Structure 1
């Protein structure tokens, strides 16, 4: 309980601080903050704020936000109520309280379907836009999700509980209370899905053990009925798809696969023969043996790493061909991967299972080399002291959720204070933050406005292709300029709500569009922003902030004046047409902007200088590592790579030089390449059983 209280105290303090900095109401700040977690966990695809309380036909109505247009979210209408208490001691929430909140949400959904109620709403209000979206998309809705997110403590766990129906459309409810938020935010582990095939979904799955007794990871070949798989997906939706695959599916899908759909409709008995099936993982499974063989009764944390399109198509068949689903059978290759090994193993399973994709789905994983490199810079590169400060700090990049809290929790007393001082929480940023900031400066505000998951998928696709072509540009200078962009983005998040012209909502859209607008106009003028200056200052100069706010005001005017036929401002901001309108807008910047612009060739020269300096440091570090690992180590690696077609004769020469270091020390360049070869080999499964193990003592690595 003490951990929960501490987590709540930190959360409330964080919310209060942002309220003071932005002048935004606590309810608005809390909604944005808590719904970030729901997006990261796949509960919702996006979170759009719409605060409304009222009454109709003698019933109380309430909504605090929604999860996007059902026509863009697989037919799921997610409506959200956010109940946050400004108390350091978390209160408790009982079933009656939850029922009341969900009742108000249902009343709102029911009311907006009536034209007489919609006609009472102000045409320019957020609630009118949401009401029109729900009414116009109702024919596409396949499920209504009622979501309560709160910093209160709810005694029971509720996860996609069926709550009835509205006009034959099923309704489920879900509570994200303080306990649940604490678990996913502080441990770094995903919210676990426990699928009880036998108990809840009509029977266990017939299976064959596909791995031998010597295998560290048990594997099974199983068969699941189409109706079972569709019902399971109906309960948990995209949370069943490993989070990175979910992003990939959402970014690339156009519609339900026509071939799969036609097979379900016309030849359901042939589905097993025609379809490649699924690849899935689970933390653990419950197996029962009987005269007919093995049956999988349940699976803990079942995640589909390949076959998302098949799963979504079968789910869609619940609506268009439900009578055929019992005749559909799907094969599953299920690997049991303990949670402590999942980060290393699951990406490889997904990588090889999805090899047909042009951009490997593994590009989305937290251990992709891009994220590993950014993490390395964030732990090594110290930022200059911020104004009024006398010590350097670091920007902590969280490539895997919960890393910051996990690292901090390991420490105690003076060590934790030093960690907090060196890595202030205000300088924590995650993969989705990186994607949001970077695509804003790449002039993709419409994509950013689609929500964290879809935006990250678009960013990862771009980075995956660029990295495959050359990873050279993603160096220390790139990292420093990324941090400069984060500084600008966060400064605008605080400054925009304080402006007289601020419309009282849509802060996130205004910030990304304002940044994109200024970046567009600067590029059109043949110049680039001097981001190195922002990095060196660790703040946004007042004159530059004024210029960005001019761009944000122009963006706000366009965003809040929707195109004909679009009543919902949040949805308008997700359209390419909105960005085109902002890009075309004429903006009069004051003369101060010129002081922060440089020629492109000057920016490139700074990149080259930084690369030379970094290469000197990297070369020394690599040489030290090669020597520390020793000749025998590199000899064993050379023997392993010689049998693999992935490694060239040049690679062999590098490893030979390292394996003969007693005769002649390899050059810094050779050592850098040797370390890169080692990394590639480990990605392909290389393990040196004779390597001296290392343990961490007092912050230093010692060999034993």
Structure 2
């Protein structure tokens, strides 16, 4: 069986399981699952489901979803249509199939621009919501992007091809097929290489200075990019340029962006001295020699890791100050980073280069210590089997896309069965899932409703700030309680569509709002929700589920009945005012809801006990490791550190004790100190063999 066939079988099994468990259509489960990939890949910032279909053949209208308010994405209106086939075999489609699949979406767009079509629909109809949004924002739409998502394999070769213009607004389309999703899920890559050919497509080679010596670990260049050239590149490739950035372009809402755009309009010749420029990476760079010297001919997979706001603001100049762009120039530091080192190098470049809007180091990246710690917990922390099940299991935290599928794929058939028992597919969760679970529980459902990437951006900022102060709270108990929140969130996802009051749509909003409401209402000066009971039993107690359904009904009512003058319910759910409205409602929970709360003192005692146990375990483990390395090893550490003046008097005192093993054993605290010192010295170049070649002159 090929990788694609294996992926297709797994995908279809997941979709059928989700549809059966939640009572939703398979195409809806497919939409929810795959649009998560679209936002993660930077294809869209957010994806809201809005299904509508009418007519037949040449009169057919169809839409499955849209990419939020175009005013939040530089005027790009994203519309989504699904091509879903319920089949056990991989199906294919070609270029001739594109028109029949996309034309109904184009027809819908044309109809949706008319008030007559909008007013013929009920206000709760998703098509009404999209039509009203299009009519309201059409004057600010700069581009229409049509996205076709399919569980068939596309045999055509076109990726994003311009179809036609709707007045002054260009329309482009792109296909996300089974093979593209498979590539993304396996490695985080879903596109062919992005090659920016300056000579052919963007006015000529880019003059540059080489900023690295021959044979250097990383190849680097300095360049000055004309504003017109940078705006044209961003206009073509968009968010793909920013996939490695610590935050996406925030438009003109940030003070920095307003200043950048003002400079473009009013003082373009001063842009270069005022702006910090770009820090960028690439997989490969080709150079040419011109009359004026070295120049960059092409760049493969350019990533702007610092300078998203600069790039976006200059691109905005295409609409607001096009004539001024010829006077704008931007400095760029470009580093060629091999793909196998990108996760190590790119976050550091971003961390050290970022100055315009200060963010915590590497908040968005998968190798931030927070994510690494969660991954470590997920591989070691075992949870008891649910009632009626035989096996204990773990939750698999995928801090980088592809970890799960690749870990499983390396195993034999027999090992895969064992892996599936240890890490059930339903217990797989990602960084964006983690952010949804946590922000729903901490009362920020309006931010969760803004989409996975925007929610994760806010979550990462909060984690970064907290982590820099102290990482102690993010211990094993915190992880276990996170899993409890995951269980609650996913149970809500299953149960909401089954409720008699649920009319379809807004499930994601209802879930996060209901969860936030119950956690909020359970919290008082003396009590909090007993999440420990959830992770211990790996299921939601009946009393808690009843309360969640009460809150879900209220959330549905609040979201689908916005205030006078507000017509788009998805956009309403993204507002703080929507959360305030639900938060202030008094709900009649079942009497047994009291059994779901626990005294704050008890919850805090559990934290204290967990930390005390961790300290005890850390001490025992460190002592075991120190003794196991032996006295001669620690004598080597002492010699190496003293020769290079890398140890303090306190370090020397501890190492003297360790060097006398086994005649004397270090205490647990001395052992912890020794292991921390060893880690530090290894980072500075120590290895056990190195001590024998030390030059003591």
SS at match of 2:390: coil
SS at match of 1:363: coil
Maintained 8 Å contact 1:189/1:402: no
Deviations 1:597-637 (A, max 9, x none): 11111001011111122222233333445556642674588
Q: Of residues 659, 671, 689 in structure 2, which corresponds to 1:662?
A: 659
The TM-score normalised by the length of structure 2 is 0.93
Q: Which ranges in structure 2 are unaligned for 5 or more consecutive residues?
A: 691-697
Could you tell me which residue of structure 2 aligns to residue 238 of structure 1? 239
Could you tell me which residue of structure 1 aligns to residue 634 of structure 2? 631
SS at match of 2:534: helix
| In structure 2, C-alpha distance between the alignment counterparts of 1:628 and 1:52, rounded to whole Å | 67
| In structure 1, C-alpha distance between the alignment counterparts of 2:652 and 2:133, rounded to whole Å | 62
| In structure 2, C-alpha distance between the alignment counterparts of 1:640 and 1:137, rounded to whole Å | 69
- The change in CA–CA distance for 1:157 and 1:457 in structure 2 (over 3 A counts) is farther
1:368-387 equivalences in 2 (<5 Å): 368-387=368-387
The TM-score normalised by the length of structure 1 is 0.92
- The change in CA–CA distance for 1:531 and 1:20 in structure 2 (over 3 A counts) is same
Question: Per-residue deviation at 1:675?
Answer: 4.8
1:29-40 equivalences in 2 (<5 Å): 29-40=29-40
Bigger Cα displacement from structure 2, 471-480 vs 562-571: 562-571
Q: Is residue 99 of structure 1 aligned with residue 104 of structure 2?
A: no
1:66-105 equivalences in 2 (<5 Å): 66-105=66-105
1:10-21 equivalences in 2 (<5 Å): 10-21=10-21
- The change in CA–CA distance for 1:260 and 1:483 in structure 2 (over 3 A counts) is same
- The change in CA–CA distance for 1:454 and 1:104 in structure 2 (over 3 A counts) is same
RMSD value, Cα: 2.5
Question: Per-residue deviation at 1:214?
Answer: 3.6
| In structure 1, C-alpha distance between the alignment counterparts of 2:644 and 2:309, rounded to whole Å | 36
1:272-311 equivalences in 2 (<5 Å): 272-311=272-311
Bigger Cα displacement from structure 2, 453-462 vs 289-298: 289-298
Could you tell me which residue of structure 2 aligns to residue 402 of structure 1? 402
Could you tell me which residue of structure 1 aligns to residue 693 of structure 2? none
| In structure 1, C-alpha distance between the alignment counterparts of 2:261 and 2:639, rounded to whole Å | 51
1:116-135 equivalences in 2 (<5 Å): 116-135=116-135
Question: Per-residue deviation at 1:299?
Answer: 1.7
Q: Is residue 364 of structure 1 aligned with residue 364 of structure 2?
A: yes
- The change in CA–CA distance for 1:30 and 1:211 in structure 2 (over 3 A counts) is same
Maintained 8 Å contact 1:658/1:671: no
Bigger Cα displacement from structure 2, 155-164 vs 395-404: 155-164
Maintained 8 Å contact 1:354/1:361: no
SS at match of 1:416: helix
Deviations 1:324-349 (A, max 9, x none): 22332211101111111011111111
Question: Per-residue deviation at 1:665?
Answer: 4.5
Could you tell me which residue of structure 1 aligns to residue 596 of structure 2? 596
Question: Per-residue deviation at 1:691?
Answer: 5.8
SS at match of 1:39: helix
Maintained 8 Å contact 1:230/1:318: yes
Maintained 8 Å contact 2:244/2:304: no
Could you tell me which residue of structure 1 aligns to residue 695 of structure 2? none
SS at match of 1:257: helix
- The change in CA–CA distance for 1:225 and 1:679 in structure 2 (over 3 A counts) is farther
| In structure 1, C-alpha distance between the alignment counterparts of 2:284 and 2:186, rounded to whole Å | 22
Maintained 8 Å contact 1:489/1:511: yes
| In structure 2, C-alpha distance between the alignment counterparts of 1:252 and 1:615, rounded to whole Å | 48
Deviations 1:209-237 (A, max 9, x none): 10112411101112222112111111222
Question: Per-residue deviation at 1:173?
Answer: 1.1
Maintained 8 Å contact 1:189/1:401: no
| In structure 2, C-alpha distance between the alignment counterparts of 1:364 and 1:70, rounded to whole Å | 24
Could you tell me which residue of structure 2 aligns to residue 610 of structure 1? 610
Question: Per-residue deviation at 1:54?
Answer: 2.4
Could you tell me which residue of structure 2 aligns to residue 221 of structure 1? 222
1:347-362 equivalences in 2 (<5 Å): 347-355=347-355, 357-362=357-362
Could you tell me which residue of structure 2 aligns to residue 462 of structure 1? 462
Maintained 8 Å contact 1:210/1:220: yes
| In structure 1, C-alpha distance between the alignment counterparts of 2:687 and 2:598, rounded to whole Å | 53
- The change in CA–CA distance for 1:39 and 1:51 in structure 2 (over 3 A counts) is same
Deviations 1:147-180 (A, max 9, x none): 0111111123444333332221222211111111
- The change in CA–CA distance for 1:641 and 1:230 in structure 2 (over 3 A counts) is farther
Could you tell me which residue of structure 1 aligns to residue 205 of structure 2? 204
- The change in CA–CA distance for 1:609 and 1:617 in structure 2 (over 3 A counts) is same
Deviations 1:409-465 (A, max 9, x none): 222232222212111111111110000000000000000000000000111111111
| In structure 2, C-alpha distance between the alignment counterparts of 1:670 and 1:357, rounded to whole Å | 42
Question: Per-residue deviation at 1:242?
Answer: 3.2
Maintained 8 Å contact 1:251/1:454: no
SS at match of 1:173: strand
- The change in CA–CA distance for 1:195 and 1:619 in structure 2 (over 3 A counts) is farther
Could you tell me which residue of structure 1 aligns to residue 52 of structure 2? 52
Maintained 8 Å contact 2:143/2:171: yes
Bigger Cα displacement from structure 2, 488-497 vs 156-165: 156-165
SS at match of 1:89: coil
SS at match of 1:420: helix
| In structure 2, C-alpha distance between the alignment counterparts of 1:149 and 1:299, rounded to whole Å | 29
Deviations 1:663-697 (A, max 9, x none): 25443334445555666788xxx35373679xxxx
Question: Per-residue deviation at 1:301?
Answer: 1.7
Deviations 1:252-276 (A, max 9, x none): 9537723322322233233222221
Q: Which ranges in structure 1 are unaligned for 5 or more consecutive residues?
A: 694-704
Maintained 8 Å contact 1:363/1:461: yes
Maintained 8 Å contact 1:635/1:656: no
Could you tell me which residue of structure 1 aligns to residue 687 of structure 2? 690
SS at match of 2:523: helix
Maintained 8 Å contact 1:513/1:555: yes
SS at match of 2:334: strand
- The alignment covers a number of residue pairs equal to 683
Deviations 1:80-121 (A, max 9, x none): 011111112121111121122222222212211111222212
Maintained 8 Å contact 1:193/1:240: no
Maintained 8 Å contact 2:252/2:258: no
Maintained 8 Å contact 2:246/2:365: no
| In structure 2, C-alpha distance between the alignment counterparts of 1:145 and 1:178, rounded to whole Å | 20
Question: Per-residue deviation at 1:9?
Answer: 0.9
1:217-616 equivalences in 2 (<5 Å): 217-247=218-248, 249-250=249-250, 253-254=253-254, 257-355=257-355, 357-524=357-524, 526-616=526-616
Maintained 8 Å contact 1:450/1:574: yes
SS at match of 2:362: helix
Maintained 8 Å contact 1:641/1:681: no
- The change in CA–CA distance for 1:560 and 1:381 in structure 2 (over 3 A counts) is same
